[in-house]
Amino acid sequence: MEYKIKTIGVLTSGGDAPGMNAAIRAVTRAALGNNIRVKAIYRGYNGLINDEIKEFTDPQDVSGIIYRGGTILYTARSEEFRTPEGRKKAYEVLQKEEIDALIVIGGDGSFTGARALAQEWNVPVIGIPATIDNDLWGTDATIGYDTALNTIVECVDKLRDTGMSHERLFIVEVMGRDAGFLTLNAAIAAGAEAAIIPERDALGQEVENAMNGRKHKSSGIILVQEHAIEGGAQAVADLIQKHHPEVSTRVTILGHLQRGGSPTAYDRIIASQMGCAAIQALLEEQRSVMVGLVNGEIIYVPLSKAIKEKKDISNAKWKDMLTLSV
Ligand code: F6P
């Protein structure tokens, strides 16, 4: 008997990322264009458990959102969904709403939950990678990463103006959870003196290199990934003050600024591409895969691999040729 998806549910989950709205828009329009009904689930898995669902019947239901940051569906990190009981409730709501496949827009925590739901209740799920951290294996970029990277570089450029004027060393804390992609690439783009990331364990050396790198000038920038060292940017500043008390330092924690703002054109484009690819995956009867983008081409990778495999941070030789000490 031919099995056909008639209705999908779509939700955003975990930390919001600029471009999530573009993905919601693409999923909705690609589904409606293929005569698949779309049920929008609000507030992530919590909203699924609590049946906070509204049908999108018209492509116009998602108009005017492609340029907006955040997510119109709201998002959450659901504790209840981490439990088998929570996932059972979620499955019962899917049954009640006659949703026969789920599209999850989020990061690795969201995909871990999606995979458990798929395994326990045989629900077809497709993941669309959206997180500013860019820490998912199987895709060169995640939705939101490019926007956050540009936001960080813009902020660091501004700090450089004041740092240069006051001959100060700015130590800037960057998000990323366990990954250093934002920190390393923002440091390269902003011409920072050093990037301290969890993937490399050479803090003392990084700081010394940075101090040497700024010998010819009185100001400088060091980017510190939030979890690279206990105490974050402040701990690095304390270390520098201890060994170089003559240096004037200031600490800036960029915080949630990094998650906001209108998505870049690149994020809007990949979100649109991945949203359509998610519907294509369902039409091809794929299950439990994440949409990825490798060398500009869409690929599908098992959710299990996307979650478990560690994405390598590039150690490309050209990065060693910069003054940047990474
Ligand atoms: O995963 C996205 C992210 O912004 C991380 O970079 C950061 O560590 C975390 O979320 C912050 O989470 P919250 O918004 O719950 O403080």
Are 41 and 130 in the same domain? yes
* Contact yes or no for 24/72 (Cβ under 8 A): yes
Structure tokens at 189: 């783009």
Domain count, the chain: 2
Is residue 250 included in any domain, yes or no? yes
Say if residue 66 is in the same domain as residue 55.
Answer: yes
Q: Are residues 118 and 192 in the same domain?
A: no
Q: Same domain for 134 and 192?
A: no
Contact 218, 135 (CB under 8 A): no
| Pair type for strands 53-56 and 37-41 | antiparallel
From 75, 132, 136, 174, mutation site for ligand 1 pocket: most ligand atoms within 8 A of C-beta: 132
> Residue 228 is part of a domain; what is its CATH number?
3.40.50.460
In a domain, 270, yes or no: yes
Query: With contact defined as beta carbons under 8 Å apart, do 101 and 123 qualify?
Result: yes
Give the position, in ligand 1's atom list, of the atom nearest the Cα of 177: 8
Question: Distance from CA of residue 50 to its chain's centroid?
Answer: 26
Q: What's the CATH code of the domain at 22?
A: 3.40.50.450
One domain, residues 89 and 165 = no
CA distances 273 to 88, 229, 255, 282, Å, are 32, 37, 29, 15
What strand order describes the sheet that includes 7-12? 53-56, 37-41, 7-12, 101-106, 125-129, 289-294, 297-302
Q: Reduced to 3 states, what is the DSSP secondary structure of residue 250? A: strand
Q: 11 and 136 in one domain?
A: yes
Q: And the tokens for 73?
A: 């569906």
pTM score: 0.95
Q: Whose CA is nearest to atom 1 of ligand 1?
A: 15
The H-assigned helical ranges of the chain are 20-33, 44-49, 84-96, 108-121, 145-166, 181-190, 203-213, 232-243, 265-283, 303-308, 317-320
Residue 1 in this model has a pLDDT that exceeds 70:
no
Q: Is residue 137 part of a domain?
A: yes
Provide the residue range defining the domain that includes 277.
Answer: 7-144+263-308
- The per-residue pLDDT of the chain, averaged, comes to 93
**Closest CA to ligand 1's atom 12:** 15
Is 37 a member of any domain?
Answer: yes
Q: What is the pLDDT, as a whole number, of residue 326?
A: 40
Q: Would you say 81 and 49 are in contact if contact means Cβ atoms under 8 Å apart?
A: yes
Could you tell me if 175 and 92 lie in one domain?
no
Distance (Å, whole) CA 318 – CA 58: 49
pLDDT in tens, 265-295: 999 999 999 999 999 999 999 999 999 999 9
Identify whether the C-beta of residue 184 lies closer than 8 Å to the C-beta of residue 196: no
Which amino acid residue places its CA nearest to atom 3 of ligand 1? 15
- Banded pLDDT at 323 (limits 50, 70, 90): low
Residue 138 and residue 241 in one domain? no
CA angle at 48 for the pair 45 and 53, rounded to the nearest 5°: 130
d(CA 159, CA 80): 41
If asked whether residues 150 and 101 sit together in one domain, one would say no
- Which residue from 19, 21, 14, 62 is spatially nearest to 38, judged by alpha carbons? 62
206-252 pLDDT, tens digit each: 676 667 666 667 889 999 999 999 999 999 999 999 989 999 999 99
Going from the Cα of 96 to the center of ligand 1, the distance in angstroms, rounded, reads 33
51: annotated active-site residue = no
Phi, psi torsion values for 9, nearest 5 degrees: -110, 145
Ligand 1: distance of its center to the CA of 15 in Å?
Answer: 6
Nearest CA to ligand 1 atom 9: 177
Give the pLDDT band (50/70/90) at residue 186: very high
Query: Catalytic residue among 133, 135, 146, 267, which?
Result: 133
* Residues 154 and 296 both lie in one domain: no
User: Are 13 and 136 contained in the same domain?
Assistant: yes
Ligand 1, residues at Cβ distance < 6 Å: 15, 107, 131-133, 175-177, 226, 259
